[in-house]
Amino acid sequence: MEKNRIYLSNYAFSKRKSNSKILFAILVTLILVACSTSIVLAAEEDNVVITFDPQGEIDIDVSLATYNFSTVYAGTWKNSSGGTFTLYNNGTIPMDTEIYTNATTDEKNMSLNATGVAPDTDEYAIYIEDLDFPGYLNTTWVLFDYNLSSKGNKQFDICLFIGVNLTANYSWQTTTIYLRGSVT
């Protein structure tokens, strides 16, 4: 029995020694493979923080601020002429200019005809000329001028057309034209 116990003890020791050799061989092989291949066994991340100070402003201005067409007869055009209005870019970067107007006069007596084609009863149309994209004013922002340089200016005129019929002898009518500069 003693002989069997010694035999088993030697057998277990030799197996452990044999297993250790195998494990060591596997470990050495893995180290060699890892060193000789481009396999990434772990990943990391990093970042860069940037800081900047944006510069540039748009500063739009127009003169004259008001204009009186005086008497305008139904079915006729009345125009300012000779560059009555001046658009200014007082900003530090070039700008585009968009323009729109109200859907009715301030008094709500007359309505804008945005197509400009034959304004009808109690309608009026407004036409902008001498800018890059002349055309009729609408009730939404529409591009009329492109890339006006910083500190630049441009003259333009406004034309008004009253429809062919009026349902009343209206008193003075007013409407507002809005201009907005945006980045080109």
Q: Which of 116, 104, 106 is nearest to 66 (CA)?
A: 106
The more confident residue out of 7 and 133 is: 133
Q: CA-based angle 83:87:93, to the nearest 5?
A: 145
What single-letter amino acid sits at 53?
A: D
Q: Cα separation of 62 and 7, whole Å?
A: 109
Q: What is the pLDDT of residue 144?
A: 97
Residues in the chain: 184
Q: Cα separation of 125 and 167, whole Å?
A: 17
Q: What is the pLDDT of residue 12?
A: 46
Q: How confident is the model at residue 114 (pLDDT cuts 50, 70, 90)?
A: very high
Q: Provide mean pLDDT across the span 119-147.
A: 96
pTM for the model stands at 0.70
> Mapped to the 3 state alphabet, what secondary structure does 79-99 carry?
ECCCCCEEEEECCCCCEEEEE
pLDDT tens digit string along 57-72? 889 999 999 999 999 9
Q: What is the pLDDT of residue 50?
A: 79
Q: Cα separation of 94 and 16, whole Å?
A: 83
Q: Cα separation of 99 and 139, whole Å?
A: 9
Instruction: Calculate the dihedral angle through the C-alpha atoms of 160, 165, 167, 172, rounding to the nearest 10 degrees.
Output: 20
Q: What is the pLDDT of residue 31?
A: 72
What percentage of the chain has pLDDT greater than the value 70? 82
The more confident residue out of 64 and 4 is: 64
Q: How confident is the model at residue 7 (pLDDT cuts 50, 70, 90)?
A: very low
Q: What is the pLDDT of residue 13?
A: 46
